[in-house]
Structure 1
Amino acid sequence: MGALLLLTACADTATMSKARDERAGFATVAGISRQATGAEAAWLQTPAERQAHAQRVRAIVQGKTISAEQAVQVALLNNPGLQASYADLGMSAADLWETALGPVPSVGISVSGLVSGDVTRSVEGTVASSILDAVTKKSRTRAADLEFRQAQLAAAGETLALAHETRRTWIEAVGAFEAAGLVGRAQGAADAASELAAQLGETGALSRADQAREHVFTAELAAEQAEARLEAQLAKEKLVRLLGLWGTDTDFYVPDSLPALPGSVPNRSNIERMALENRVDLAAGRLELEAVAARYRLTGQTRMLSDAEVTGGVEIEREDGENERSPVLDVAFSIPIYDTSGLISRRGKLEYLRSANNLAQSAINARSEARSAYSAVTGKHQIALHWRDQVLPLRREIDEQALLSYNGMLTSTFELLNDAREGLESQLSAAEAKRDYWLAEADATAAIWGGASDNGEDE
């Protein structure tokens, strides 16, 4: 009995204090979210908190035109799926708390005969079990703590993934509305030309074939406008789902056009290093490796498995006749390999090597994704600038000259409308190029911090 009472004092009070908080571990999630997205994450656990945040969300969106930053903020405050993922963090904290608390002493006595006083050995069994739990409590607490830290990174990954998908969806929705607006403006000119063709046909100045050519352009534009409006509506509806909105809260707007292109893209020549330092999936992989080592008590680190060596140099980019030099320092992502020669369990050795090589592959993938994201940003920016600064000015000049020729009766209405159609296609292509640039910017952030969705990777 004295031994059982002694076990009650074996609880790890420091770990218990960390784990029993209602929002244990969420400060890490909120910090990563704030640093990566600039938005505040919230873990809502009471009706009062939910009501307060619902009012805050309603003040942001109802009847308002929201920006990409506001959309991300609303999603992190209001998405029920994200709140469900935070529950996994809470359950991991509860597991850590129970493990740190230690075994709960219990006594079981069974009397088989009152006369002889024969007592079974169940008391001894209970004590032995409790002592065994106490002896292994330190290792089990460490394992539970590693799992708790992994749960924090998993919750942060879910937060970043939602923020990334929300930003991409906002960009796609605004881009769809911008395309619909461009088609709508062309539709007005086509309707006027179609009406003129009908009037000329009544006077006999225009044949039926020529009238049909006028009307078919208008009809085609009407179909394109309907399709563009539908695409914009569906894109906004997807955004509504990510924001967790319903009812009157869905009465919000997005801008009619995406922001203008920046003059230059941010210099991210060190994007590989930033990814290796900040990716939550790589941090989680390191914790998994540490957990495997602790599970099999691997000690005596012998060497490091690295995906690359440290290199230094300078990167020179030439743009507009000027050279821009950026120092380059490539930091290797090192993975410890422990001495497994004395390990009895072959399974433990193989499990550790599997985790180590999976982590090495993840680091290689992260580097490649970071380089691809940077190439996409710079490439999409140059393409969008080409459409804006080269193609569209030429199209405007063509339209102006075509209108002068038409007013001087040097060209026909058909030629004017054909130039208008080609001009619309150029405007739509320029808008699409601008949209692709902003999507690439969102993907670059995800490549640095993690949380990239499948849509972003595919494109």
Structure 2
Amino acid sequence: MLLLGLGAPGCVSPSMQSDLARVRELTHMPLPPQLAVARDEGTGFPEEVRQWLQQPLTAEAAVRIALLNNRELRASLRDLGVARGQLLQAGVLPNPAVEVELRQQEDPGLPFEPQAEVRVEYGLTQAVLSVARARAAQRELEAARYRTAAFVVELGYTVRAAYYAFQAAQQRVAIATQALDAFAAARDASQALFEAGNIPELDAATQDAAYESARATVAQLELEVLERREQLQRLLGLHGEATAWTVTETLPRMAEQEPALENLERKALTASLELAETQHRLEGAAQRAGLTSVEGWLPDVSVGVIAERKSPVAPAHGEWEWGGVIHFTVPLFDRRQGTRSASEAEFDALMERYQGMAIDVRSAAREARNRVLSTYLRARQYQQVLLPARQRVMRQTMLQYNAMQIGVFQVLQVRREQLDTELAYVDLLREYWTAHAALEALLAGRRTGAPLGPGSGASLAGGTEAGGH
């Protein structure tokens, strides 16, 4: 066991590359090796980021920029060094204790020549237990890697949700601007008719108030575009000249077929990084509890060597005499009862949380399925039924208007209703893609909006809501 203890510290790599490779393996996401290297803002952005920013961003390109450039992600990867350092320290062997004692001979008439005694002691018990401590710390390091992997998955979801929200905000402004043009046309027509004496002043004032209200709505939507852009900007970690990026104008259309959602609960449980993290923490807590139990009954044994140089009057003057010593404690009173009780309580609490987390993951899988299906069916209803119906109504209205059966105000009202339907469709489309991104994150191992486990101060910037619409 002592030989194992000697070899344990050498098995741990101090490099961050091993942690990064493990997180990449857990997430199946393209984490670049540059994340292991500290980067100063004075050096500018990586070349890959500049290339992606030169063309309209897609959702996947935005995620790749965030994986390379998000400062909170870089910090969370470096937080793994805390657990790695604890593992290194847990496997380090104890230092030997050295005691040197100098004594003058008893006869003051003899010339000064002190006696010397040297003691070297080493704690065998602590050396043996360092193996078990390193094994428990290894579980904590693996749990920290799973926690960081969960953060990576959630960052990908949050970037996609912010991207879709920004796209939808841009699309809503474009539609609202068209509606504003319709309100302006109605206002101008009513003003001309009022000046000609064909309509009362109340009708003209009503159209003017409607136009001003639409202007306020467009201004509010323009502010929403700016806010959504800055939310995405923070997630991407961009500043300065790099903030002049653009995205594709419209949200992507949905697939014609409904998404396949079979065995979703089982897949979510199997992929859950949260459950895997808690499982490793459970194993570490169990090993610490066992280690505490062993420390309670195992004596603290130290062995040593004594070397003593004889006095000048001794027969073996000037020679060294050697001997050995063994020290040990008798565990009569302090058998680590309180520490053992605390470790067992920690294990029981983690077990309860593990069971509750499994229930939550199943519920999240059902919730994600319901949200995706509901938004898909509603958006498809708008796409295949409501929008074509509004277009037919508009065509028939124009025919009636050309036949002088209805007035311009009825035409403009139908146009505004058509634009309102398009606005609702954009909201549903954004809600669907956000729900789809949340489902992908769940199947990648992370419930969106779930708190990260202890030991991580990571938080996602931007304030993007975690649940869609």
1:118-267 equivalence runs, <5 A: 123=119, 127-128=121-122, 130-267=123-260
1:16 deviates by: 2.5
Question: Greater share of helix residues, 1 or 2?
Answer: 1
Task: Give the equivalent residue in structure 2 for 1:30.
Answer: 24
Higher radius of gyration, 1 or 2: 2
Looking at structure 2, the residues matched to 399 and 9 of structure 1 have their Cα atoms a distance apart, in angstroms, of 81
- Deviation of 1:291 after TM superposition, in Å, equals 1.0
**Aligned ranges for residues 267-306 of structure 1 at < 5 Å?**
267-297=260-290
Which letter maps to 1:277?
Answer: T
- Counterpart of 2:72 in structure 1: which amino acid? G
Q: Deviations over 1:222-266 (max 9, x none)?
A: 111111111111011100001111111111112221000111233
Distance in 2 between the 1:430 and 1:95 partners? 53
1:55 is matched with which residue: 33, 47, 59? 47
The one-letter code of the counterpart of 1:64 is: Q
Match of 1:381 in 2: 376
TM superposition shift of 1:457: 4.5
Distance in 1 (CA, whole Å) between partners of 2:141 and 2:290 is 19
Deviates more, 1:368-377 or 1:208-217: 208-217
Equivalent AA in structure 1 for residue 466 of structure 2 = G
Match of 1:85 in 2: 76
CA pair 426-457 structure 1, distance change in 2 beyond 3 A: closer
Distance 1:99 1:416, change over 3 A: same
CA change 1:142–1:112 in 2 (3 A) is same
Taking a change above 3 Å as real, the CA distance of residues 379 and 178 of structure 1, as seen in their structure-2 partners, is: same
CA contact (8 A) 2:435 2:468 kept: no
TM-aligned CA deviation for residue 206 of structure 1: 3.6
- Residue 405 (1) aligns with residue 372 (2): no
| Counterpart for residue 453 of structure 1 | 449
Query: 2:17 aligns to what SS in structure 1?
Result: coil
Contact 1:39–1:69 (8 Å) recurs in 2: no
1:132-163 deviations in whole A, cap 9, x for unaligned? 32121110110111111111111111211211
Q: Which residue of 2 aligns with 1:12?
A: 7
- Report the equivalent of 1:70: 61
Equivalent in 345, 355, 358 of residue 353 of structure 2? 358
Give yes or no for contact 2:16–2:36 (8 Å, CA) kept in 1: no
Equivalent-residue separation in structure 1 for 2:40 and 2:447 (angstroms): 30
Alignment-mate amino acid for residue 202 of structure 2: A
Flag the 1:201–1:457 CA change in 2: closer, same or farther, 3 A: closer
Q: Which amino acid aligns with 1:446?
A: A
Alpha carbons 2:364, 2:447 under 8 Å: kept: no
Residue 309 of structure 1 corresponds to which residue in structure 2? none
> Which residue number corresponds to residue 436 of structure 1?
431
| Bigger shift: residues 86-95 or 153-162 | 86-95
Cα distance in 1, alignment partners of residues 432 and 262 from structure 2: 18
**Greater RCO between the two (CA within 8 Å, min separation 6)?**
2
TM-score, normalising length: structure 1: 0.80
Task: Name the residue aligned to 2:99.
Answer: 109
Partners of 1:99 and 1:262 in 2: CA distance: 53
Instruction: Assess, with a 3 A threshold, how the Cα gap between structure 1 residues 365 and 197 changes in structure 2: closer, same or farther.
Output: same
Structure 1 position 21 matched with structure 2 position 15: yes
1:417 pairs, out of 412, 415, 422, with 412
Partner amino acid, structure 1, of 2:281:
E
TM-score between the two structures when normalised by the length of structure 2: 0.78
In the TM superposition, what whole-angstrom CA distance separates every residue of 1:407-434 from its partner, at most 9, and x where no partner exists? 2221122222222222222111111111
Question: For residues 192 and 171 of structure 2, what CA distance do their matches in structure 1 show?
Answer: 33
Matched residue SS, 1:204: coil
TM-aligned CA deviation for residue 168 of structure 1? 0.7
CA–CA distance in structure 1, aligned partners of residues 87 and 205 of structure 2: 76
Q: Say whether 1:99 aligns with 2:90.
A: yes
How many residue pairs get aligned? The number is: 401
Tell me if the contact between 2:26 and 2:146 (Cα under 8 Å) persists in the aligned partners.
no
- Separation in 1 of the partners of 2:7 and 2:116? 35
Q: Distance in 2 between matches of 1:458 and 1:400?
A: 34
Change (3 A) 1:419 1:118: farther
Check whether the contact 1:392–1:426 (CA below 8 A) recurs between aligned residues: yes
Cα-to-partner distance string for 1:334-367 (whole Å, 9 max, x where unaligned): xxxxxxxxx9744444332222121011111101
Cα deviation for residue 391 of structure 1 reads 1.2
Pair 1:39–1:451, CA change in 2 (3 A): farther
Give, as a single letter, the amino acid of the residue that structure 1 aligns with 2:99.
I
Quote the Cα distance in structure 2 between the aligned partners of 1:262 and 1:88: 40
The Cα shift of 1:27 comes to 0.7
The verdict on how the C-alpha distance between 1:203 and 1:406 changes in structure 2, with shifts beyond 3 A counting, is same
2:408 maps to amino acid: T
SS in 2 for 1:43: helix
Counterparts of 1:179 and 1:360, CA distance in 2: 43
Q: Which moved more, 1:18-27 or 1:378-387?
A: 18-27
Shift of 1:195: 2.5
Give the CA deviation at 1:7: 7.4
Q: Distance in 1 between matches of 2:378 and 2:391?
A: 19
Residue 460 of structure 2: aligned partner: none
CA offsets 1:95-130 (integer angstroms, 9 cap, x no match)? 323333433x34443546455657799x45xx24x4
2:266 counterpart letter in structure 1? R
Output the aligned Cα RMSD. Answer: 2.8
Deviation, 1:375, is: 1.5
Name the amino acid aligned to 1:109. Answer: E
Q: Does 1:370 align with 2:365?
A: yes
Structure 2: distance between partners of 1:385 and 1:18:
54
| Contact 1:44 1:50 (8 Å CA) reproduced | no
